[in-house]
Structure 1
């Protein structure tokens, strides 16, 4: 296990989950037919997703088979089906060891599933109504910030909750987010979401967190639990991964240069951009894929 060198998650997030991942693999490796180092490769990004995106505590239930099914069915992993099947086997074997009382669940075929597709324009309008229609000022502020930072700047929950008010700059050119958690970068907010972000931060002091109070703990994702405690109507469920997917496809459809989008998104692999083209029927063609790959590789 000590041979493993994390390259799949940002350093601050890895520091948060490293002891848990090491303990989990140390427990299950003797009961598995897999090398511990290979388990680390599969377990690390999975635990990062469960803890930092879904807001789960670092306990055995991280390896619940339902969560494994959700993870494997994502369409932004950019892994071949064969690799996904191997990772699924790894994770389910771990689940059997740490949660022996959980029965097996049915998995749909790996192709065609999506839990991170972008929202439609109508759905985004409904989500803005969700954010602005919360019953308390605190919830309106939080919901507005989550939506504006997710759909407007492509941030994930970990990045959102590590922002101070001073990290969001607003001037006559628009709004710019200085991302501190995860991959450091500057991200301009899409014009559609500028006003919602400005309204959400109107009374927030420069040294305060954009999300959460002064005594919050920033070592786990509290964005998803916050969303789950907001008021809901008939709008679609607010999901940060779908907000980010919407931000990516908006830029792709608008023709944003691939290298610029790679930098703003904090992506390391150009193929991640091409994966998003499946949600844009008019652009899901070889010519667009070649162009975006060529542009994105300039970021390297």
Structure 2
């Protein structure tokens, strides 16, 4: 299973000599997994030329730029644009791509991609009307859990993916967020070896600085149990991302299909939804904080507005128990 959004092949038909820098080699040898060979062939030379004009200083930077450029330029082609630098790297084209061409990206990732493309546009164009500043894509941060209807829709979309790999990626991602409440970075590291049975339920032993044991919320335990059975020893996501990859979620979901109206997947919202479920079920906050790996009440404060009001008599009964 691929660990990044590229594979090495001589598809650009360039003669790569020993005089090439490591960054240039990375550009010339890059092939995106997110595109079919015929799609890549149609834009490869143009994309490589743009990437080399950006003068990447390091192979990692080169790969990041090629990933961003290949997806953006392919999208521009699907919109009927010719391979013209001034037309493709026009502010309106970039804004159109960010608004509708990468719905699988979280707002923060779209903001990063927009910043890259705007920087690229300023470097490679001479007449495109780049404005000096834009409205920030990401507004004040807020923890907003998914509604029950949104969760149901996400699970439905995950189950309807066309390939086994796509289903594995999306269902496991939802299970780790909605079923275990993992921090975003934790989802990439856990493996089937971290699953265990304890007190009659499936649990996940989370490694790292916030090591803890998390009971898996049904029905997501069935998803993780099936992965444990069918692919022992693997990462639960079925995907290994490079340490330096800044677009892990984008690369993981790059081939997934999201029908119109599908909620955008944001890992912090999956975790917030898990939190809220347990708060609604009156799990003691002290114990919930231990299982969640937090030491402050900040998240609880964000989510209190989403808790239902209890009948007054029930509240009074709880508060007068001995």
State the TM-score, normalized to the length of structure 2: 0.51
Query: How far did 1:115 drift?
Result: 5.5
* Matched residue, 1:275: 302
Indicate the SS of the match to 1:263.
Answer: helix
Matches within 5 A, 1:170-209: 170=197, 173-206=200-233, 208-209=234-235
Give yes or no for the alignment of 1:106 onto 2:135. yes
> Measured at CA, do residues 156 and 108 of structure 1 come closer, stay the same or move farther in structure 2, by a change above 3 Å?
closer
Query: How far did 1:169 drift?
Result: 1.9
> Measured at CA, do residues 229 and 279 of structure 1 come closer, stay the same or move farther in structure 2, by a change above 3 Å?
farther
Structure 1 vs Structure 2 CA RMSD: 3.6
Matches within 5 A, 1:102-181: 103-106=132-135, 116-170=143-197, 173-181=200-208
Pick from 208, 217, 223: which aligns with 2:242? 217
Q: 2 CA distance for matches of 1:102 and 1:183?
A: 44
Higher Cα Rg, which structure:
2
Query: How far did 1:153 drift?
Result: 0.8
> Measured at CA, do residues 115 and 57 of structure 1 come closer, stay the same or move farther in structure 2, by a change above 3 Å?
farther
Q: How many residues align?
A: 193
Residues 62-108 of structure 1: CA deviation (Å, up to 9, x unaligned): xxxx9xxx66xxxxxxxxxxxxxxxxxxxxxxxx9xx9987323359
Contact 1:149 1:155 in 2 (8 A): yes
Contact 1:142 1:200 in 2 (8 A): no
Contact 2:143 2:269 in 1 (8 A): yes
Indicate the SS of the match to 2:229.
Answer: coil
Query: How far did 1:258 drift?
Result: 0.7
Give yes or no for the alignment of 1:251 onto 2:296. no
Q: 2 CA distance for matches of 1:108 and 1:143?
A: 25
- Greater shift after overlay, 182-191 or 123-132? 182-191
Query: How far did 1:266 drift?
Result: 1.1
Indicate the SS of the match to 1:155.
Answer: coil
Gaps of 5+ in 2: 1-62, 69-97, 99-106, 109-118, 124-129
Indicate the SS of the match to 2:205.
Answer: strand
Q: 2 CA distance for matches of 1:145 and 1:129?
A: 13
Gaps of 5+ in 1: 1-55, 72-95, 292-300
Pick from 215, 223, 229: which aligns with 2:255? 229
> Measured at CA, do residues 102 and 202 of structure 1 come closer, stay the same or move farther in structure 2, by a change above 3 Å?
farther
Q: 1 CA distance for matches of 2:138 and 2:192?
A: 44
State the TM-score, normalized to the length of structure 1: 0.54
* Matched residue, 1:18: none
Indicate the SS of the match to 1:191.
Answer: coil
